[in-house]
Structure 1
Amino acid sequence: MSDTLAATRPLAPAIEPAVPPRPERLVSLDVFRGATVAAMLLVNNPGTWSAVYDPLEHAAWHGWTPTDLIFPFFLFIVGVSMAFSLLPRLEAGDAPGRLFARAAKRSAILVLLGLLLTAFPYYNLDLAHLRLPGVLQRIGLAFLLASAVVLFTRHRAQIGITAALLLGYWAAMMLVSVPGYGAGDLGKDGNLAAYVDRAVLGTDHLWKSAKTWDPEGLLSTLPAVATVLLGVFAGRWMRSPRSPADRLVGLFLAGTAAVTLGWMWNEVFPINKALWTSSYVLLTAGLALHALAVCYWMVDVRGWRRWAGPFVWFGMNAIAAFFLSGIVARLLGMIKPGGVALKQRIFDTAFDSWLPAHDASLAFALCFVALFTGLMGLMYRRQLFIKV
């Protein structure tokens, strides 16, 4: 549009304010985000939870599996995206307070969506027993807190805050005594994060499968903020006026350093997704840097984009894909023709009747992802993007 206007009007006067150039859009970031969301749908929707391949399950407690990379990858991507959205506006002179107000609105919408998804379809649910933490709630809170850091502090201070979050969380988890358990207990019930969740939220508002702790609890959201901030640093690097080769080398070197530090920290503060330990933050951020580098090289440097179309569809409607998939999954379990859940009937008839149990469960999950790939493709073709 600007080119057309320029061709039909006289030259602008010299006093007209310059319009800052639009920030570079990384298609590879959309691909990375979309692949992460697609993986999230895959692991969240097996045909049956009694037959799931080990890599598609979370680690029982300490340790990690490929599934444990998905959520931190998404938060890391949130941080990279912030560098391409918030920072250009800040540099163009937008007031930090105004930008933070927008971030607070987005955060509130994410938290509300998370609560609606948790309660669906029982909106007459006793609020005294509604789970308050959740995936979307953590994304919203981590985004809000990271936005405050990015908007109101300088780059060096942001590095210091990230380090303080990781070191402070480690110190608190290892040194603060929990009544009845003592200090340094990293068990499911005896750790400080679980104690804080019980004390602040009460057991009626925690993850029902655990009842005494929550994998998206309050205290463990603080190191999740560090995950977002590490993504912001990666985004700053990608926005810098460096050659593609320099960007790639920097991503790989930083990723390798983070993975190494994460493994070293694991010796005294075990890698644990449910606790979102500091070692887990560094390990997953390092692997996310490597994954981003690979996507950047393939998609933006080499220009190999034909294969990546479906991931772009998911990446451009990430929150919609996650929210709608949660609704559909819930409905498949609730609709019971003949007294049998629709999901169970589909699984038994179309998959479990002729495939081994684990393969049948995986095949159902793949078909679920394929269904949403088609939906996201339709939305993309119609330019229907649901933004929060």
Structure 2
Amino acid sequence: MPTSSRQASSAPPVTHGPEAVPVRRRLTALDAFRGCLVVLRIVIGSQVAEFAAPALMHANGFGLTVADLVAPGFLFIMGLAVPVSISAFLRPPTARGPDGPARRPPLLRIARRAVLLYAIGMFLNAYPFLPEELAHLRFTGVLQRLAVVYLVVSLLYLSCAWSLLPVSSETPDRTHSRFGRLLARGFLLGGFPLVSVAVWIVATYTFHNAWPECADVRTLVPDCSLEAYLDTRMWGAEHNFEGGRFDPEGLLSTVVAAVNCWAGLVVGVDVVRNRQRYQVAGGVRRRASVLVAGGVVCVGAGLALGSVVPIGKQLWTPSFALVTVGIMTAGFGSVLLAFDGGLWPVSSGRACAGATAAVRRGLAPVGGTLVALGRNPLFFYVLSELVIDTLDYVPLRHHGEEGSVWSVLPEVGLASWMPAPLASLVWALLWLLLFYVPLARLLVARGWYIRV
């Protein structure tokens, strides 16, 4: 997803003591966590729907499965990358000049990335450009949602980041009042998600669908929800996902999905504002512990809220957003602790606390692979979609029945001698290990980083 491609040319100097293990200026965890999400996306997306395990498919209606974590993860890491890639707005006035950072270049860059993400999403929706597909073309999708949310959260950051800068007698703020500063800071750090959730709750639970089949519905039912009404009225059910009443990446659910991206933004702001603490392993471990603890609290709060507002990705309910924010925050904290806290090496020569040389040699390729996959996340997302859609389009007959290369090959080669759900998982892992991982290592070896 959109990130800065600037790399640190050197690591901080090595000093002595357990608190002084050097950490790269660019946190390895940023790429490693993206790599984890890419692995999850490839494994989930490469399942054979006909016989995949339910836990590896999206929940039908309400509930939470492993597959439901992919989109929240990409939203979270995309938000985290915003302040990291545009850190000038969090620098003190003495470090960024008397006039502050120029707003036009980042605004243009943000707009360009949002437009490109949306365009790529529309390309994937139209592929392989069949007339029947184009007649029911979706205007929404995962990348389209990422584009819209990225634009909103980036503008939020550019508009309110100034409120986080320290004010003193040496660097007074003559442009904004104290009340304006507090208002902007409060909206950036907490008001935005509260407004998003409040809009969803009020709009959803005060709406009564006039469709005859929904007249007696008094609970939250996706097909009778405000989301279904808006999506069907906006572009028609034939342009929703699989022709349903609502689209899982529709209008109203995107309002709450922005909360997941906002959570990543807040973590990214912490990374930039406390850069010195992230320069040594001891500081990284303390910050990672806070993230893990905060994530656990969010998961607990989300589960509690789920007793009132059901947890579901299809409508992206507030309880779903809160649970997935907690999972991603704790997940990023764990990856941060492992990779930048010195617990998991990304190269055989890098220090790893308490690990023998043999363990380092075994762990390093895994860490290096995750980092390699995380360097080109958008490329692998698009590539996996194109591979699956292409092979699913090529027809192949088996036992007199019409199928596709994507469905028949794993059925004949794997499901014929192992349990079907396991065959689907093995099929996905083979693609990951034999195709995507070697390609990721090759791209990094050549220094090719494909971004928008």
TM-score by length of 2: 0.76
Q: Which residue of 2 is the match for residue 351 of structure 1?
A: 414
Other structure's SS at 2:298 match: helix
Q: Distance in 2 between matches of 1:320 and 1:358?
A: 28
The equivalent position to 2:151 in structure 1, one of 144, 147, 151, is 144
Residues 209-260 of structure 1 show CA distances to partners (whole Å, capped at 9, x for unaligned) of: x521111111111111111011111112223334224312321232122112
Q: Give the superposition deviation at 1:324.
A: 0.8
Q: Which residue of 1 is the match for residue 173 of structure 2?
A: none
- Assess if the C-alpha contact under 8 Å between 2:89 and 2:158 holds in 1: no
Residue 278, structure 1, aligned to residue 337, structure 2: no
Residues 107-151 of structure 1 show CA distances to partners (whole Å, capped at 9, x for unaligned) of: 110111011011112166675421111111111111011111111
Which residue identity is paired with 2:220?
L
Q: Distance in 1 between matches of 2:241 and 2:408?
A: 27
Other structure's SS at 2:61 match: coil
Residues 174-213 of structure 1 show CA distances to partners (whole Å, capped at 9, x for unaligned) of: 12233234686421211111111111121121101x5211
Q: Give the superposition deviation at 1:341.
A: 2.5
The equivalent position to 2:194 in structure 1, one of 133, 144, 163, is 163
- Assess if the C-alpha contact under 8 Å between 1:119 and 1:125 holds in 2: no
Q: Which residue of 2 is the match for residue 13 of structure 1?
A: none
- 73 and 340 in structure 1: CA distance in 2 versus 1, 3 angstrom threshold: closer
Residue 291, structure 1, aligned to residue 331, structure 2: yes
- Assess if the C-alpha contact under 8 Å between 1:33 and 1:315 holds in 2: yes
- Assess if the C-alpha contact under 8 Å between 1:90 and 1:151 holds in 2: no
- Assess if the C-alpha contact under 8 Å between 1:188 and 1:213 holds in 2: yes
Q: Distance in 1 between matches of 2:384 and 2:76?
A: 22
Q: Give the superposition deviation at 1:344.
A: 3.4
Residue 200, structure 1, aligned to residue 230, structure 2: no
Q: Distance in 1 between matches of 2:118 and 2:8?
A: 37
Residue 32, structure 1, aligned to residue 33, structure 2: yes
Q: Distance in 1 between matches of 2:301 and 2:376?
A: 34
Q: Distance in 2 between matches of 1:340 and 1:57?
A: 20
Count of aligned pairs? 368
Q: Which residue of 1 is the match for residue 221 of structure 2?
A: 187
Give the CA RMSD over aligned residues. 2.4
Which residue identity is paired with 2:109?
R
- Assess if the C-alpha contact under 8 Å between 2:8 and 2:25 holds in 1: no
Q: Distance in 2 between matches of 1:192 and 1:184?
A: 13
Q: Which residue of 2 is the match for residue 224 of structure 1?
A: 257
Q: Distance in 2 between matches of 1:31 and 1:51?
A: 30
Matches within 5 A, 1:27-106: 27-46=28-47, 48-88=48-88, 91=91, 92=96, 93-106=100-113
Q: Distance in 2 between matches of 1:314 and 1:2?
A: 19
Q: Give the superposition deviation at 1:83.
A: 2.1
Q: Give the superposition deviation at 1:152.
A: 1.2
Moved more, 231-240 or 316-325: 231-240
- Assess if the C-alpha contact under 8 Å between 2:76 and 2:261 holds in 1: yes
Moved over 6 A (4+): none
Q: Distance in 2 between matches of 1:202 and 1:353?
A: 42
Q: Distance in 1 between matches of 2:218 and 2:111?
A: 34
- Assess if the C-alpha contact under 8 Å between 1:333 and 1:342 holds in 2: yes
Other structure's SS at 1:198 match: helix
Q: Give the superposition deviation at 1:291.
A: 0.6
- 254 and 321 in structure 1: CA distance in 2 versus 1, 3 angstrom threshold: same
Q: Which residue of 1 is the match for residue 426 of structure 2?
A: 363
Residue 267, structure 1, aligned to residue 274, structure 2: no
TM-score by length of 1: 0.88
Q: Which residue of 2 is the match for residue 175 of structure 1?
A: 206
The equivalent position to 1:328 in structure 2, one of 381, 387, 394, is 387
